[in-house]
Amino acid sequence: MSQVEIEELESWVRQTLESKITQAERERDKLLSDITKAVNALPDYCHQLAKKAEQDMETKHENRAQFKAAKALSRLTSVIADMCKSVNLPNEKDSTSLRALQRELSRTASEGARVRSESLHQIRPFYIIDMMTFGGNIDKLRRLSEELHNFLMGRGAVLKSLEELDEKMKSMNKVRSTRDSISAQRESLEGKLAETTKTDALLREQVNQIRQNQKMKDHIQIDRQLRDLRLELLRTGFSRLGRPLRKLASLSERGGYPLPIEVRESTKEYLGRPFATFINEHEGYPKLKEVMSALSGAVTSGRLALKQREAKKVTDRSEQVVSHDSLLGIQTKARDLKQKYDHCLADQETASLVQTMKTLRQKGRGNLKVKKELEDELRRTGEAEAKANEQMNALTKEIENFSSKLAGAEVRVQPPQTR
């Protein structure tokens, strides 16, 4: 079994079939030469007969029968000459062009024989020898058409197989070009992804360095405690009150449940920034109590329609906030922490470090977004590359089987190298 790289396969096949190819090409070239001569010879002979017919029509117009025969001959030569013009002698020698030529020759020969036969009864008594020669030229076209057909079905088949192999190789080159383009894109994406990974590691390192600063440690600890208190406030003071408060604000704006302007504004503030509004309240959070009292009153009066279970939660929570000062401890801790937080930010070094960390985190989020996009694009590119490689492997196997059958010898084709 021979092993051949796919780039050298066509040369190997031609070398293996050199004698058959040479013989077929020689026979093809001779056939094309004979066809060209025959197709060109018939119009020339038509021209000779046309001149002879014209002379006879001028000199023998008194003989009515011969005059009619000459006129029929002139008409016949004109029709046959036009038929020959429809035969396209191709510049290419591929099987498709030769098959088209064979059909044109066969059609021209058949039509020519039919037209000659229809005119023969008018021409024969006076142009017997000319008609025999004329018929011989038409028969020659038919014979050459049959020879070309037999060639294409016989020894010419090897040339057609070579053309099919060439088409398969072109398909392979097209797929390989696509694969190489995808591979180049994949390598570019890998490089960009490596850069974003490197940038991510660098940003994380810079953030960690800032975190090691003692002032930043204090700031981060206070910020975390404030966040925990915010969650506790939302859980204990505002849990499941968001929808009722929004309905109360909407109802008040429509005039369905009148509220004092300051209570309406406080409701909007608590809906927008509950924790910041809560911290900035006076001790005992009077604004929040007014809001909760208004909410409880709207529910109790039936002006704010809620389900029974939800209405009970609203009234219970309002009672805890208004009468029992359940959020006082959270407010006290939060206000103390907020003072410490503001004191930290009043320090120029701490403020600069906080701003730097904020900038680094923004860059990190942007970098992670780009990284995710690159990873997704790299995954799609990898899938496309794998599909192209599968197509190449399938084509390689197809070409290998075709070449083995064509050459009459087993051959192992080495596929194109992957990048």
pLDDT at residue 131 in the model:
81
**Rounded CA separation 261/265 (Å):** 6
The model's pTM is: 0.66
86's enclosing H/E stretch is none
| Domain 20-155 = CATH 1.10.287 | no
**Rounded CA separation 109/92 (Å):** 22
Q: Phi-psi bin for 223: left (phi > 0), alpha (psi -120 to 50), beta?
A: alpha
> pLDDT digits over 304-338, tens only?
888 888 888 888 888 877 777 778 888 889 889 99
Q: Considering only 146-155, 273-282, 301-310, 398-407, which range has the smallest mean pLDDT?
A: 301-310
**Rounded CA separation 220/380 (Å):** 40
Can you give the residue ranges of every domain in the chain? 20-155, 205-367
Higher pLDDT, 324 or 255: 255
pLDDT at residue 202 in the model:
95
Q: Tell the residue number behind the tokens 């000659």, with chain if given.
A: 116
Burial of 88 (C-beta count, 10 Å sphere; 0-12/13-18/19+): exposed
Q: Please spell the DSSP secondary structure of 302-334, one letter per residue.
A: TSS---HHHHHHHHHHHHHHHHS-TTHHHHHHH
**Rounded CA separation 403/419 (Å):** 26
Residues 6+ apart with CB under 8 A from 179: 385, 388, 389, 391, 392, 418
**Percent of the chain residues topping a pLDDT of 70:** 99
> pLDDT digits over 218-239, tens only?
999 999 999 998 998 888 877 7
Distance (Å) of CA 337 to CA 224, 226, 230, 238? 10, 7, 12, 21
**Rounded CA separation 419/190 (Å):** 13
